[in-house]
Amino acid sequence: MRILIVEDDLDMIDLYKEILKKYGYSVEYVVDGEKAIELYKEAYSKGEKFDCIIMDYRIPVKNGLIVAKEILKIDRKAKIIFATVEGSVEREALRIGAKRFLKKPFDIDSLIHAVRT
């Protein structure tokens, strides 16, 4: 399974990579919203789409909600998991099409369950 991390906190990225690779997932990451859209669009056009996207809300250039909307325009079936301290965006994230919402901090089991389901 191929996972895209959209997160600007490098320590969080390292943690995601360590955990997800331990479970056998292939992980790529970007640190801003515009790069996330570009990478997803490029991968999708090549038939190499990501199986799952773990998205923070507060990221540079474009916030996570804007990025999620753009990605869902490219691929309605994109599996987006919001993982953020911003609990106030949960309803909107799910309304626009995110599959799951994890409020930071969360445990490893919650992350793996969200990715698997």
- The CATH class for the domain spanning 2-116 reads alpha beta
Label each residue of 34-72 as H, E or C. HHHHHHHHHHHHCCCCCCEEEECCCCCCCCHHHHHHHHH
CA angle 86-29-82, nearest 5°? 25
pLDDT digits (tens, 9 = 90+) for 8-64: 999 999 999 999 999 999 999 999 999 999 999 999 999 999 999 999 999 999 999
Does the pTM surpass 0.75? The reply is: yes
Cα-Cα end-to-end distance for the chain: 12
pLDDT digits (tens, 9 = 90+) for 76-87: 999 999 999 988
pLDDT digits (tens, 9 = 90+) for 48-79: 999 999 999 999 999 999 999 999 999 999 99
**What is the 3-state composition of the chain as percent helix, strand, coil, each rounded to the nearest 5?**
50, 20, 30
DSSP string, 14-30: HHHHHHHHHTT-EEEEE
What residues does each domain of the chain span? 2-116
